[in-house]
Amino acid sequence: MSMQQLTAVVREGTAPVHYFRGGAGESVLYLHHIAGMQGWEPALSELATKFDIIAPYHPGFGPSEGLDDVDNGLDLVLHYVDFLDYLGLQSVRVVGHSFGAWIAAELAALYPDRVSRLVLANPVGIWDEEIGGEDVFAQNPGKPTEVLFAEPQMRENLILRDGTVDPVEIYVQEMKDLKAAAKFLWPIPDTGVARRLGRITAPTLIVGSTADKFIPSAYAGVWKRHIPNSDIKTIVHGGHLVNLEQPSRFATVAGSWLIQP
């Protein structure tokens, strides 16, 4: 399985999209979580054994610029419509995780013909006072993504990688990614997406994680009530960044849904 790191200007005058592409088979658009991507992550590598995985950085995340070009969810959806057009893909399977699940849901609701099957893992975008959730933007400034893991030390192992990467460099990137997400989710993490979810026609799997402090797994039921033809799968002991904590489990759950016709 080969993987490429690519860039593309999908529309004249816009910032280049930085993305990974690897594998073969049916094309899957992977829209990443609130903390960006840790490169070609192990979960993506596993999914690429069965699918053609296309994993772009959102505008303003990772090496991608263009945050000033997008002001709301509709802008982000149009950004990915342009991206799919650039790739020549009319309809794809989509995995959205966290922040990316919100965008994926909006894409499937507003352009249902572009999404054939959908996975929404720990989706952001609906707020329920009775369920609540930790404020990811109000954490220890020295450890801004710790709350996204089932256990705090997992940040040390999976983000800082036991000191093999410059911690200052990692911290700067964490803050850049969270700042980009805050443009859309702070101070109120409710995007209004619930009003549009009934438009989704793609068979949809909603994945919750039992140790997610940011988006508690009870939200999966809320999303299911709004999305026709949807189902729920729960990953035990997973935090918000379950794709990093349990990559094989994440890939198996998503892949078993995506492989269906």
Give the model's pLDDT for residue 164.
62
Cα separation, 217 vs 123, in Å, equals 10
Q: Which residues contact 188 (CB under 8 A, 6 or more apart)?
A: 127
Q: What is the pLDDT of residues 25-59, one digit of tens each?
A: 999 999 999 999 989 999 999 999 999 999 999 99
Domains of the chain plus CATH, in order, are 3-258 (3.40.50.1820)
- Residues above pLDDT 70, as percent of the chain: 97
**Is the pLDDT at 12 greater than 70, yes or no?**
yes
Residue type, 179: K
CA distance 80 to 123: 18
Report the sign of the C-alpha dihedral through residues 156, 160, 162, 166, in that order.
Answer: negative
For residue range 246-261, what is the model confidence (pLDDT) as tens digits?
999 999 999 999 999 9
